[in-house]
Amino acid sequence: MKKTLFKMTMGLGIMVLAAQQVQARNCAPREDVVKRLTETYGETRQGIGIARRGAVMEVYASDTSGSWTITVTMPDGMTCLIASGRSYEDMAEALPPNV
């Protein structure tokens, strides 16, 4: 259930980015966003990926509280908050064998 919820949240974040509906009120310079996630929520980067148009998607999470945040950083250095939540779990699942 938690894995499905996380995948749904990731999908939502990607759809929001693709539609370019990120609102400026949820954006700030990357260093400010990372500092706040670290100092206020104890979150560290857990994953990273490249999105369209040179944007970088990152997942931050706290091992202590389980809080998590998905951010997207645009080439101009502005980072926008896409989604956040709780009960983060780190998973490393093997791919199914080829049939």
> Would you list the DSSP string of 3-50?
HHHHHHHHHHHHHHHHHT---GGGEEEHHHHHHHHHHHH--EEEEEEE
Q: What is the mean pLDDT of residues 71-88?
A: 96
pLDDT mean across residues, the chain: 84
Give 35-50 pLDDT, tens digit per residue.
999 999 999 999 999 9
Number of Cβ within a 10 Å radius of residue 60:
23
Instruction: Using pLDDT thresholds of 50, 70 and 90, give the confidence band for residue 57.
Output: very high
The residue with greater pLDDT, 23 or 41, is: 41
Domain-wise residue ranges, the chain: 2-85
DSSP state of 28: E
